[in-house]
Amino acid sequence: MYRQFCSHFGLLAVLACPAFGQTKSTTATSKITSAPDSKASTDAAAEVLALERAMEAAVVRGDVAYVDGVSAPDLTFTHGDGWTTGGKPLLVDDRKSFLKRVESKQYNVRDLDSVKVEMHGDIAVTYGRYVAQNRTGDPDKLWFSVWFEAGLRET
C-alpha cells in the first residue's frame, strides 16, 4: 500500500478558482490516466489512482479512520495557490487539523479529474485537478477546482 510521501502530502495547489460556482452537478467526468513504462509500473500506478480515489471519497464521507490509516504521520495539506507567486498559502493543515476537517465533512464533492501518475521506483508522484464543493459558505463560491501535485511512498 502507498502512504503519503515522506514529510508531506502537500496538496500543492497551482490553481484554485470558483469557476464552478454556478454548477449544480455533483459529479465531474474523471480523466485519470497513468504514464506507464512497464506492466509493474502500470499496476502500481493503478493502485495509486485507486488510493487517491478512495482517499477523496473518505474525505467527503468524513471517514477519519480511513484517512488516518492511509496518511503519513507528518502529513501537511496546503490550501490555495498564493504561495506560487511569492505569497502565503490560504491555510496549511497539519495531520491533526486535516483530520478535523475530514471529521467535519467540509465537502459535498471532491472529484479527481485529469490526474496522472509518474512512478519512480517505490515513489509515485500524482498531479492533476480536483473539483470540489464545500458544504457551507458563500453560494457563489461553493464549487471550485484545484490543480495539485502529491507524492506517495510505498511502505
Q: What CATH number does the domain containing 44 carry? A: 3.10.450.50
Q: What is the pTM of this model?
A: 0.72
Query: Residue 11: which domain range?
Result: 2-154
Q: Exposure string (b/e) for 12-29, b if CB count within 10 Å is 16 or more?
A: bbeebeeebeeeeeeebe
DSSP 8-state assignment for residue 106:
-
Cα–Cα dist 145/75, whole Å: 21
For the chain, the domain total comes to 1
Q: Encode the chain (155 residues) as per-residue pLDDT tens digits.
A: 444 333 333 333 333 333 333 333 444 444 445 454 567 778 899 999 999 999 999 999 999 999 999 999 999 988 876 676 788 888 899 999 999 999 999 999 999 988 999 999 889 999 988 899 999 999 998 998 888 888 877 76
Cα–Cα dist 46/40, whole Å: 10
